[in-house]
Amino acid sequence: MSFNPLVPDWRGKNAWLVGASSGIGQATAHALHAAGARVFVSARNARALDSFAQSHPGAVALALDVTDPLALKAAAQTVLAAGPLDLVMYCAGYYQELRATGFDLAEMVKHSEVNYHGALYLLDAVLPALLAQRSGHISLISSVAGYTGLPKALAYGPTKAALINLAETLYLDLKARGIGVSLVCPGFVETPLTAHNKFAMPALITPEQAAREILQGWTKGEFEIHFPKRFTRWMKALRLLPYGMRFAAVRKITSL
């Protein structure tokens, strides 16, 4: 089933990726550029963005902090001045392990600001233009950590769950307006965010593999793009269990 307008050809399309200085965002920007899209990349790391732009002719670097709504609006004006926006992807993320026994309000708020509020600021900056042009695509990177509560994900998990609900609601509201919406739920991907994990990460994949999955999902018009499926299908099945069975399974799997 196709949920969104198909994108068989990226040549000449304008794509803005927010959170593209490394990891999945940068790999996806590279894949889009290779497919012929004009790519705009944003993140805080100006040096990484400039390096990307120099090695990808035509790419535009727009350094910003996703927690600054005015900076996102200013960057959006630059992107929209180049023509219709065909794709905007929110891939900025922040992650630190946290358990309730070490509750840290500052960490909770920082996760919310980067992982969720930043997406809202981006929507505020681009939605009016997308609604006016009656086209375009919004893609939000969540995580399988948003499927169910997990130990050590007290700060991270709820923000990813919020993105899942946000994407679902956006889809329901925007489909009739000609705007596509997709939700990306990766498992473990080898990125700076996961580099400090002290546990074995099952089915770990590279950012380049993740980018291929994402582009394939957009090409097929999928709503939820989750990968690698040998891991994510188990996570999806887990959230269907009654709470008693689910909590017991999570404790057994994580040994926590």
Which pTM was predicted? 0.94
Is it the case that residue 255 has pLDDT exceeding 90? no
The overall average pLDDT reported for the chain is 94
Question: For residue 161, what pLDDT is reported?
Answer: 98
Q: Which of 116, 147, 156, 171 is catalytic?
A: 156
Rg for the chain (alpha carbons), in Å? 18
If pLDDT is split at 50, 70 and 90, which confidence band does 202 have? low
Contact 62, 15 (CB under 8 A): no
Which of 6, 64, 62 lies closest to 29 in space, CA to CA?
Answer: 62
Structural domains in the chain plus CATH codes: 14-254 (3.40.50.720)
Question: For residue 36, what pLDDT is reported?
Answer: 97
How confident is the model over 117-165, as pLDDT tens digits?
999 999 999 999 999 999 999 999 999 999 999 999 999 999 999 999 9
Nearest 5°: phi and psi at 14?
-100, 125
How confident is the model over 88-118, as pLDDT tens digits?
999 999 999 999 999 999 999 999 999 999 9
> What mean pLDDT do residues 53-72 have?
98
Phi-psi sector, 203: left (phi>0), alpha (psi -120 to 50), beta? left
Residues in the chain, overall count: 256
Amino acid at 196: H
- Is 116 one of the annotated active-site residues of the chain? no
Range ranked top by mean pLDDT from 215-219, 227-231, 251-255: 215-219
If pLDDT is split at 50, 70 and 90, which confidence band does 171 have? very high
Tell me the H-state helices in 17-64: 23-34, 46-55
